[in-house]
Structure 1
Amino acid sequence: MTKAGEVIFDDYHFFNDVCQYVDQAAAFTNHDKGLLEQIKACNSVYHLQFPIKKGNSFEIIHAWRVQHSHHMLPTKGGIRYSDIVNEDEVMALAALMTYKCAIVNVPFGGAKGGIKINPRNYTAAELENITRRYTVELIKKNFIGPGIDVPAPDYGTGEREMSWIADTYLTMNPGSLDALGCVTGKPIALHGIAGRREATGRGVAYAVRECVSVAEDMKALGLTAGINGKRIIVQGLGNVGFHAAKFLSEEGGIIVGICEFDGAIYNVNGLDVNDVVKHRKETGSILGYAKATSEFKNSAEGLEQDCDILVPAALENQITMANVARIKAKIIAEGANGPTTPDAADFFIKNGGMIIPDMYANAGGVTVSYFEWLKNLSHVAFGRMDRRYDETNNLNILSMIESTTGVTLTPQQRAMIAKGPSELELVNSGLEDTMVRSYHEIREIKNVKNTGSLRTAAFVAAVDKIAVSYMNMGIWP
């Protein structure tokens, strides 16, 4: 284990870190050693490579799809496009997806995909070619399908890429009734679901809000209960970071710092996230933002500024023994996967901090992906069957109340009370309930079993659920 302030070496192994967390959690369970080894293992690792034409030459593309656990099917996990993607990273992310799904009670096994490219170096046509070819390769190996393995967006991908995947799968599976369930994170026009784009960031906001609402835990950190007035630094202004910052500020949090790959900005009185995004669109960078009182060319310095809550929502391995001693936040809410190394996490907690673990905090995306998958299999949008019935029923009740009490409501009041839920409202309600219930389940395990951290408690919850699934399959007595 390295000491605070030392530089971490380049032989970082993300998958080993995840397995280490499982081993720590296993000490609080009584499961068979062989079963625990099966739970940790990646069941299927597919490394593929294929050529694409770029300009007047050919380029070999390296890509992966990993199915970590088949204790439940289909497997589920995003696809990321990044020039630092490697097999170890994809295996680790697939494993985290397994535990993440178990924690929030989503009935999927974990999977993950990655293509080793920098999307900025390719035209839209070239990216489409790469995405469709990748999909074809997955289809040929039976690594994609609504009952087999269901990808989703991740770092470097979004609705556009998911549309290409869905269209390719439909083309190669004509007449397949549930074909659109082969991928989630699709645009609404292609039978996606309202709220999926912002789901991960919204889930992070719900996780933070629920954590800081427990007065007893906040008192131990020297903080007051509630999100209102809490100073927050967010690393990453992509889909997850932007929406986490947006919803946290709407809940009353103060976004004092924003860190991006090209630098960081800070203002103790708060930053307007939407205004920062507007500035970045106009200039290409968050740097130079007029309302920032401090600016850092080194993005890592932004993490070390004064705040109550730090939300790393970019990539893994951002908080290490090289910088954790300089982190001033009392709470780290992991919006990204694996942003804190195990030794840094131990150091932070032993020095009085709290970490809301990634496998719970960023589970909003897979939760709403589950809702989208259900929508695709049922072929009915949420709220379509009962929204008008609910509105009519509510209006009848209001009319009865008005006639018996003599109270007359305004048209605006009647519309507000009678309104039936939209798909977005139902999705957000389901997501909020999932995050609230899961947090208190994890917290109870932490307190009852004295696990020392929410992360270990979360892994205990996940391992117990996965073990039960395997035992119900008759593999273990």
Structure 2
Amino acid sequence: MTNANPSSSKEEFHFFADVCSYVDQAAKYSNHDPGLLAQIKACNSVYRFQFPIRKGNSFEIVHAWRVEHSHHMSPTKGGIRYSDMVNEDEVMALAALMTYKCAIVNVPFGGAKGGIKINPKNYSVAELENITRRYTVELTKKNFIGPGIDVPAPDYGSGEREMSWIADTYLAMNPGSLDALGCVTGKPIALHGIAGRKEATGRGVAYAIRECVSVAEDMKKLGLTPGLEGKKIIVQGLGNVGYHTSKFLLELGATIVGFCEYEGAIYNEDGLDLEDVIKHRKESGSILAYSKAKKEFKNSAEGLEQPCDILVPAALENQITEKNVGRLQAKIIGEGANGPTTPGAAAAFLEKGGIIVPDMYANAGGVTVSYFEWLKNLSHVAFGRMARRYDENSSTNLMNLIESTTGITLSAEQRRVVVKGASELELVNSGLEDTMVRSYHEIREKKMQRNIDSLRTAAFVVAVDKIATSYSNMGIWP
């Protein structure tokens, strides 16, 4: 276990400092003790380690991290990122964002994050399994994983497959542990995952943007009409988050006019067909040369600068900077990724009168549904299993009574709609939507009450106030 010291690296990183600067900005709107604020910002535990793996006929050293940012709530919670760009500063920053994210959406976890410094494309499935299982063993040895300690989840470069390897390894090292499967979320359904988890982050981003554009007063200032209908949107990133965000925004009435990926960008002001673009990319290996795109750009960054109402960066951090923010034509930025907008760029965008739906709220759908999965694993009962049939029978009896007393006869389809009990997926989506709706308006209300300059700062004020209250209730701070 080591103390975090980003400046000790040969490279200079600022992501964690950027996150701390947001807390400092939020502190201007509250009256918390400076020592408490310092504790809230600090990473409580930083575990940096390395281990050897066999690759072919040789050995390779893999560098990895797990950061537990805050223990004001237990367990801590956060994904594991597989990327050759991972560094300690990034993992610390993402762990901190998880703390504030959980507080904002009232999920009772402290923040954590993990990172493995590899490019998954350079390894076979067997090698990736070996790396993931060894990573889990290292976490287990140091007590950095467990259903009541620290619960990982998927992140950039990882998914259900990796989570199943983690769960299996933890089970093997903890025989007889009744709640062992709660050690990780984002698992396949067959391994007691939960319906709706894969698309949860993207669905949450879509709900967040929908709530933002639903406020007529705010849209009037931007010269936009309320609602998503007809809004032109550019999405950066066609991974899990970007794809599902696009899918649900389209279902809510928006028009996707541009997609940006690492190989380039495409644009059509009349709209692009998401599934057709995905099909083209699978066949050709690129979104470029798509026949229905009116413009394409070899430089992906140029795609962000095309005309639109809403820009959704759903790839990696630091995509919108002081260098390109002045060329953006969007009026709203909905942050699907973690930290896609630098503080300087955010300030410049707000100065132009734009609205930023901040990442630690907008992409909280993943941790919200992970919370539901964790609860399912601890209760050992799937959502809807106990009540679904009872609800259907009760509704059927009610329909029979109405028909017999009124003489009105419903069609089979009408009866099916009325009497249908909620499935696990429907309950999960309902809980997610309620969380995103309530949280957005809590943030906006705080912004209006305290005359705060941005939704991001207001979100941090909400988070810091809740975390400070937790420390006070624990008796840690007066």
Q: Distance in 2 between matches of 1:113 and 1:127?
A: 16
Deviation at residue 475 of structure 1 after TM alignment: 1.3
Paired residues for 1:157-176 under 5 Å: 157-176=158-177
Q: Distance in 2 between matches of 1:168 and 1:274?
A: 36
Q: Distance in 1 between matches of 2:13 and 2:332?
A: 24
Report the 3-state secondary structure (helix = DSSP H, G, I; strand = E; otherwise coil) of the residue aligned with 1:300. helix
> Is contact 2:181–2:377 with CA below 8 Å preserved after alignment?
yes
Q: Distance in 2 between matches of 1:351 and 1:228?
A: 24
Q: Distance in 1 between matches of 2:264 and 2:328?
A: 17
> Is contact 2:13–2:89 with CA below 8 Å preserved after alignment?
no
Paired residues for 1:12-91 under 5 Å: 12-91=13-92
Paired residues for 1:271-290 under 5 Å: 271-290=272-291
Paired residues for 1:337-356 under 5 Å: 337-356=338-357
Report the 3-state secondary structure (helix = DSSP H, G, I; strand = E; otherwise coil) of the residue aligned with 1:92. helix
- Does 2:314 match 1:313? yes
Partner of residue 439, structure 1: 440
- For residue 26 of structure 1, what is the amino acid of its counterpart? A
Q: Distance in 1 between matches of 2:124 and 2:352?
A: 47
Q: Distance in 1 between matches of 2:91 and 2:215?
A: 35
Paired residues for 1:125-136 under 5 Å: 125-136=126-137
Q: Distance in 2 between matches of 1:43 and 1:11?
A: 22
Partner of residue 192, structure 2: 191
Paired residues for 1:456-471 under 5 Å: 456-471=457-472
Q: Distance in 1 between matches of 2:15 and 2:477?
A: 29
Deviation at residue 238 of structure 1 after TM alignment: 0.1
Deviation at residue 11 of structure 1 after TM alignment: 3.8
Partner of residue 143, structure 1: 144
Partner of residue 6, structure 2: none
Percent identity reads 80
Partner of residue 211, structure 2: 210
Partner of residue 122, structure 1: 123
Q: Distance in 2 between matches of 1:416 and 1:324?
A: 48
Deviation at residue 288 of structure 1 after TM alignment: 1.2
Report the 3-state secondary structure (helix = DSSP H, G, I; strand = E; otherwise coil) of the residue aligned with 2:230. coil
Paired residues for 1:205-244 under 5 Å: 205-244=206-245
Q: Distance in 1 between matches of 2:229 and 2:62?
A: 47
What is the count of residue pairs matched by the alignment?
Answer: 468
Q: Distance in 2 between matches of 1:359 and 1:174?
A: 36
Q: Distance in 2 between matches of 1:194 and 1:327?
A: 37
Q: Distance in 2 between matches of 1:59 and 1:95?
A: 30
Q: Distance in 1 between matches of 2:104 and 2:368?
A: 11
Q: Deviation string for 1:390-444 (max 9, x for gaps)?
A: 0000000000000111000011110110000000000000000000000000000
Partner of residue 258, structure 1: 259
Report the 3-state secondary structure (helix = DSSP H, G, I; strand = E; otherwise coil) of the residue aligned with 2:206. helix
Report the 3-state secondary structure (helix = DSSP H, G, I; strand = E; otherwise coil) of the residue aligned with 1:151. strand
Structure 1: state its 5+ residue gaps.
Answer: 1-9
Report the 3-state secondary structure (helix = DSSP H, G, I; strand = E; otherwise coil) of the residue aligned with 1:345. helix
> Is contact 2:19–2:96 with CA below 8 Å preserved after alignment?
yes
Q: Distance in 1 between matches of 2:344 and 2:452?
A: 16
Q: Deviation string for 1:11-56 (max 9, x for gaps)?
A: 4410000000000000111111100000000000000100001011
Q: Distance in 2 between matches of 1:313 and 1:13?
A: 20
- For residue 334 of structure 2, what is the amino acid of its counterpart? A
Consecutive aligned runs of 4 or more in structure 1 exceeding 4 Å deviation: none
Partner of residue 301, structure 1: 302
> Is contact 2:193–2:373 with CA below 8 Å preserved after alignment?
yes
- For residue 381 of structure 2, what is the amino acid of its counterpart? V
- Does 2:315 match 1:328? no
- Does 2:405 match 1:413? no
Partner of residue 6, structure 1: none
Q: Distance in 2 between matches of 1:221 and 1:62?
A: 46
Structure 2: state its 5+ residue gaps.
Answer: 1-10
Partner of residue 95, structure 1: 96
Q: Distance in 2 between matches of 1:266 and 1:123?
A: 35
Q: Distance in 2 between matches of 1:417 and 1:274?
A: 32
